[in-house]
Each structure stands twice: as C-alpha cells, then as structure tokens.
Amino acid sequence: MTLEEKQREFNVAMQLYTTRTGYKLFGSFISVANVFLQAWLLWRVLPISVGILGQVIAITAAWLIADFVNGLVHLYMDNNDRYDSFYGPLVANFHLHHKTPRYQPKNLALVYFVESGSKVWLVPCLFCLALAAEFGAVSPLLLHILVYAGILSSLAEVSHYLCHTSMSPIALRLGNLGILLSKKRHAVHHMQDNMSYAFLNGLTDPLINLIAARSSRGYKQNTDLHYAMYCTEAESR
Ligand SMILES: [Zn+2]
Ligand SMILES: [Zn+2]
C-alpha cells in the first residue's frame, strides 16, 4: 500500500472517529469500567494486611510493572496502522498524540478519568484480577502489586499530561526524582524515533528500547507520516 493510500485510510478513520458518537461513548464506557474496577479492587485489597515492608515492595514493584506494561502497549500502538479495522478510528486518534502533544489544561481527576478511556486492554485485566481476588486465587502480596499496577496504569496518563502541560514545581520535582515522568526523559520520545515509550516515570525505558529496537521500525518514517494530510479541529479553525 502506498503512503497516499495509508494517509487516505487514516483520514477516513478520523472522519469516523469525529462523526460517530459510538466511539466517544465507547471511550466513556472504558473510563467508567476502568475507574469502577480500580476503586472496587482498592476497596477489596486495603483491608488485607501485608505489613509495611509488603506495602513498600508492592508499591515499588507496581510502579515498575505499570511503567513497563504501559510502555509496551504504547510501543504496540505507535506501530499499529490498522486504520481499516473496526477499531481503526481509535488507533488513528491515538496517533494524534504525536501530532499535537499538548493537552488542553484540565483538572487532574478529569485527566485521570478521560485518559483511562483509551486503556481498552486494562478492562479485561482488571476484571480477571477482580475475579481472582474474589476467589482468593492470588496471594495477598501479588494481589496488592497487581491492583496498584492497575491504578498506576491510569496514573501514568496523568504523569504524561503533567509532563506536557504543567510547570508546577511539585510536578517538575516528582519528574526529576524519577517518581513521575520528567520532561527531559520524555522529550526523547517525541524528538527521536522508536525510543522512550514508557510514560509513568520512564525507568523501564532501557528495557523497552531494547525490545523496540528488535521488534519495531519506529514511528517517524511510519505512522507519523500517516497523519500528514489530516487537519485537526484546532488547525482547521
Ligand atoms: Zn508515542
Ligand atoms: Zn508525549
């Protein structure tokens, strides 16, 4: 398929995304499902004691797992060009984070909710975890790790938002400490190719970069070219 044909497919997919309310409703449904399951799992896990050391281990492991897993999903999505599939409009819309990386300033709770709507893969993961928790199929420590990782997967979206949008000293400090994503670390993803996909704090980027180098041809000469003929609403005003 030629680049022009791919660009046409991209524009058709975005036309569907912007005109069919089903896609926006689907995003809202995913947001509600993710936030509901996260809240339910947290309520379920908090009374289970793992001790102070267990909590430290769980939070540290969850932070690294969420950074890594969400980075891998980002790597997969940045290379996905199935615009003609039923989920193609969602894929096309995802790629616009490279075209217009600045977000509209929003309340952080709203960012958490809205951006959770792009995490379709997280819903079945949380649902299976909820079933496992209900049937006692997971050890208390592993349950804590996975529940925290599930919540941090949505927090990663807030971290990415702050990285692009905020000059708050607290956000900058958390970024520089490696707790959240630093502007310097994340700039590599937008300025270079096939690099730095992680976006909770970027600590697992060295590993994801190795996987990307072996599995992906990058986005600069690939999916980033597909939106070249697309005009966002802001650009067409
Ligand atoms: Zn990206
Ligand atoms: Zn970004």
**pLDDT reported for residue 232:** 75
Distance (angstroms) between ligand 2 centre and the Cα of 157 equals 10
What range does the domain containing 137 cover? 3-95+104-226
The rounded mean pLDDT for the chain is 94
Distance (angstroms) between ligand 2 centre and the Cα of 14 equals 20
pLDDT score of 182 more than 70: yes
Instruction: Find the mean pLDDT for residues 14-39.
Output: 95
Q: Is residue 179 part of a domain?
A: yes
Distance (angstroms) between ligand 2 centre and the Cα of 9 equals 24
**pLDDT reported for residue 103:** 74
Instruction: Find the mean pLDDT for residues 183-208.
Output: 96
**pLDDT reported for residue 5:** 94
Q: Is residue 235 part of a domain?
A: no
Q: What's the rounded Cα separation, in Å, for the pair 116 and 112?
A: 6
Number of structural domains in the chain: 1
Q: Is residue 231 part of a domain?
A: no
Q: How far is CA 228 from CA 26, 82, 236, in A?
A: 26, 17, 14
Q: How far is CA 30 from CA 43, 47, 71, 115, 184, in A?
A: 20, 27, 19, 10, 31
Q: Is residue 165 part of a domain?
A: yes
Distance (angstroms) between ligand 2 centre and the Cα of 20 equals 26
More confident site: 234 or 89:
89
**pLDDT reported for residue 234:** 64
Q: Is residue 209 part of a domain?
A: yes
Asked whether 135 and 44 are in contact (CB, 8 A), the reply is no
pLDDT score of 237 more than 70: no
- Which ligand is nearest the CA of 185, by number? 2
- What digits encode the pLDDT tens for the residues 110-159? 999 999 999 999 999 999 999 999 998 899 999 999 999 999 999 999 99
Instruction: Find the mean pLDDT for residues 35-55.
Output: 96
Q: What's the rounded Cα separation, in Å, for the pair 225 and 205?
A: 24
pLDDT score of 40 more than 90: yes
Q: Is residue 42 part of a domain?
A: yes
Instruction: Find the mean pLDDT for residues 187-199.
Output: 96
Distance (angstroms) between ligand 1 centre and the Cα of 75 equals 7
pLDDT score of 235 more than 90: no
Distance (angstroms) between ligand 1 centre and the Cα of 76 equals 9
Q: Is residue 185 part of a domain?
A: yes
- Which ligand is nearest the CA of 79, by number? 1
- What digits encode the pLDDT tens for the residues 55-105? 999 999 999 999 999 999 999 999 999 999 999 999 999 999 998 867 777
Q: What's the rounded Cα separation, in Å, for the pair 80 and 217?
A: 11
Class of residue 194 by CB neighbours under 10 A (exposed 0-12, middle 13-18, buried 19+): buried
Q: Is residue 131 part of a domain?
A: yes
pLDDT score of 207 more than 90: yes
